[in-house]
Amino acid sequence: MTVSTQPNLIRFLQDELAISTASLQVALKHSEQDPGPLPMILWQYGLITLEQLEQIYDWMEAP
């Protein structure tokens, strides 16, 4: 998964949750080696809190 594949998710992470570009790059690099949902990778590597993870999934489920 690259940044260009989910621009709305990336924008949400940066604008609403203030996730740094550096954190996103770390997560994307790890996702190349261990594929999985970007939000889970961010959480597994301690780049977001459990509360932020819940906010991301709530946003993803919204119509």
Q: Kindly state the tokens that stand for 22.
A: 């550096």
Handedness of CA 2, 11, 60, 38 (dihedral sign): positive
In the block, which residue shows the tokens 């190349």? 32
Give the span between the Cα atoms of 33 and 51, in whole angstroms. 26
Domain locations in the chain as residue ranges: 3-61
pLDDT given for residue 1 in this prediction: 42
Task: Map residue 47 onto helix, strand or coil.
Answer: coil
* 12-31 mean pLDDT: 93
Q: What is the pLDDT of residues 31-63, one digit of tens each?
A: 888 888 999 999 999 999 999 999 999 999 987
C-alpha–C-alpha distance, residues 63 and 18, integer Å: 22
